[in-house]
Amino acid sequence: MCLAIPGKLISITVQLDDTFRQGKVSFGGVVKEVNLFLVPEARVGDYVLVHVGVAISVIDEEEAERTFYYLQQMGEVANEIPD
Amino acid sequence: MKYLTEYRDPQQVSEVLKQLASIVTREWTLMEVCGGQTHSLVRNGLLDMLPSRITMVHGPGCPVCVTPASILDEAVALAMRPDVILCSFGDMLRVPGTEKSLLQAKAEGADVRILYSPLEAVRLAVENPSRQVVFLAVGFETTAPANALSVIQASKLGISNYSILASHVLVPPAMEAILADPDCVVDGFLAAGHVCAIMGTDEYGPIAEKYRVPIVVTGFEPLDLVQGIYMTVAQLEKGEHRVENQYARSVQRTGNTMAMGSIREVFTVSDRSWRGLGLIPNSGHEVKEQYAAYNARLRFGLSTTAVENDGGCISGQIMKGLKKPRQCPFFGTSCKPEHPMGAPMVSSEGACAAYFQYAAESAISE
Ligand code: SF4
């Protein structure tokens, strides 16, 4: 139930009142209308984490890279991470 | 990066597992708090791949599983009213109430609708001005902001036919209830990543300190989970008990301030009954007085007293990590996903349903 899925913000469609701020988010090609009220910092091109139709966090690319760097340090990640 | 497939690479998972095996020197019992993590651990067969000295027990983090029968009864009573459209997340429909589930109410003619988002319920209220739209607002801290936002939107739109039946629960008080139990078996926790995306990680420091348990905020993909387990075990082996964040790509220490603000705007912390665990003080949300018009309990004058009787279901012991689903005498016999006796057999994030569904594919060790 607490499932939240990362998707790419491809456009902002409703901007008028922040409570209703909306955008289109692509989940591997499947595009859905998502509320953006909770992520005012989200820009087109960002990956956002979406839960029950609402974006709850902008995914931090640097931190994601760091996770893999940490794994590499453990001697884990042999190959480059594909983009 | 797509932030999904990268975290499912079996090669990397097995390398982390190798590292894990190399640091384990004794038996440890870890609890993953969130039902989404339970589902992922079981579905990906990770329980079978862990070193044998590590036992995972499955916590109370499935909102469907912990919603008490009394709230289902309230929802069923509302659904049976001809003026009401009762909306809910799909998972809630088969959860047994005292007499019937929402699915049974629907079969008897009640207008029960499955929605993906509470914001759709607001739209439904706009489209059906002559009906009362009620959203059964279950969920942890992850879902509370969306439910709050539905009330804020309805209030801004001046809608008078929308209300929510709040059944929110909070994770830290439940973790404390588990740790304070004298029979507690949990040595370390994987904290629920998406709850922390909202609330941040500060709430867990005092718990880690007081009960001397490591708490590692963890994501949901296989690589997240094995890394979270590795980090927890590494602390345990060193005798440490800190809060760490495996899921930093989505979780900031301070959480999401907009989301916390929305929760504070609409809800106030209240006592809450958990199915299987009983009443836990300050472990839920109720709608604030200021938004009383959107509180279905007040609007329809519902009374919340009901006797919880789960007919022998041992979900409480399972959620405390004291028993595994297969140790329940009803598992797979009188209790199956098609006719669940308890909520953990309903939702795919409930430990019982997760074990039942995937048992055929992988022999889950006890
Ligand atoms: S198997 Fe059924 S009765 Fe037993 S604990 Fe799980 S949900 Fe309850």
Give residue-wise pLDDT tens across range B151-201.
Answer: 999 999 999 999 999 999 999 999 999 999 999 999 999 999 999 999 999
CA B276 to chain centre: 13
Q: What is the mean predicted confidence (pLDDT) over A61-80?
A: 64
Q: What is the mean predicted confidence (pLDDT) over A71-79?
A: 55
Q: Enumerate the residues of chain B whose CB falls inside 8 A of the CB of residue A56.
A: 142, 145, 194, 197-198, 256, 259
Q: How far apart are CA B79 and CA B104, in angstroms?
A: 11
Q: Which of B116, B223, B256 sits opposite A52 (nearest CB)?
A: B116
Asked whether the CA dihedral B357, B359, B365, B366 is positive or negative, the reply is positive
How long a stretch of residues is chain A? 83
Q: How far apart are CA B337 and CA B339, in angstroms?
A: 5
Domain boundaries, chain B: 1-358
Q: How far apart are CA B243 and CA B130, in angstroms?
A: 51
The residue among A72, A50, A73, A66 whose CA lies nearest residue B247 is A66
Longest distance between any two alpha carbons in chain A, whole Å: 49
Whether A1 shows a pLDDT value over 70: the answer reads no
Q: How far apart are CA B122 and CA B155, in angstroms?
A: 10
Q: Are B62 and A47 an interchain contact pair (Cβ–Cβ within 8 Å)?
A: no
Whether A74 shows a pLDDT value over 70: the answer reads no
The yes/no answer on whether domain A5-80 falls in CATH 2.30.30.140 is yes
Q: Mean pLDDT in each 10-residue stretch from start to end of chain B (366 residues)?
A: 76 90 96 91 91 94 88 94 95 89 95 95 96 96 96 95 95 94 94 93 96 96 94 97 93 94 96 90 95 96 69 88 92 89 85 84 50
Q: Please provide the DSSP assignment of B138-192 as one string.
A: EE-TTTHHHHHHHHHHHHHHT-SSEEEEEEEE-HHHHHHHHHHSTT---SEEEEE
- Residue of chain A whose Cα is closest to the Cα of B61: A2
| Coil, strand or helix at B12 | helix
Q: Are the C-beta atoms of B158 and B124 separated by less than 8 Å? A: no
Q: Quick one: pLDDT at residue B305?
A: 60
Q: Quick one: pLDDT at residue A75?
A: 56
Whether A83 shows a pLDDT value over 50: the answer reads no
High-pLDDT (> 90) share of chain A, %: 48
Selected residues 143-162 of chain B with any CB under 8 Å from a CB in chain A: 143, 145-146, 149, 152-153, 156
Q: How far apart are CA A35 and CA B258, in angstroms?
A: 13
Q: Quick one: pLDDT at residue B342?
A: 86
Q: How far apart are CA B341 and CA B336, in angstroms?
A: 8
Q: Quick one: pLDDT at residue A79?
A: 40
The residue among B269, B122, B138, B146 whose CA lies nearest residue B197 is B146
Band of residue A76 on the pLDDT scale cut at 50, 70, 90: very low
Q: Are B145 and A56 an interchain contact pair (Cβ–Cβ within 8 Å)?
A: yes
ipTM comes to 0.87
Q: Are the C-beta atoms of B308 and B69 separated by less than 8 Å? A: yes
Give residue-wise pLDDT tens across range A8-23.
Answer: 999 998 777 777 889 9
Q: Quick one: pLDDT at residue A45?
A: 93
Domain boundaries, chain A: 5-80
Q: Quick one: pLDDT at residue A66?
A: 73
Q: When comparing pLDDT for A2 and B89, which is higher? A: B89
CATH of domain B1-358: 3.40.50.11740
Q: Which residues contact B281 (CB under 8 A, 6 or more apart)?
A: B173, B271
Band of residue A78 on the pLDDT scale cut at 50, 70, 90: very low
Which helix (H) or strand (E) is B273 found in, with range? strand B267-274
Which helix (H) or strand (E) is B133 found in, with range? strand B132-139
Q: Please provide the DSSP assignment of B180-199 as one string.
A: HSTT---SEEEEEHHHHHHH
Q: Enumerate the residues of chain B whose CB falls inside 8 A of the CB of residue A83.
A: 1
**Does the beta carbon of B344 lie inside 6 Å of ligand 1?**
yes
Q: Which pair of structure tokens corresponds to residue B107?
A: 């079969």
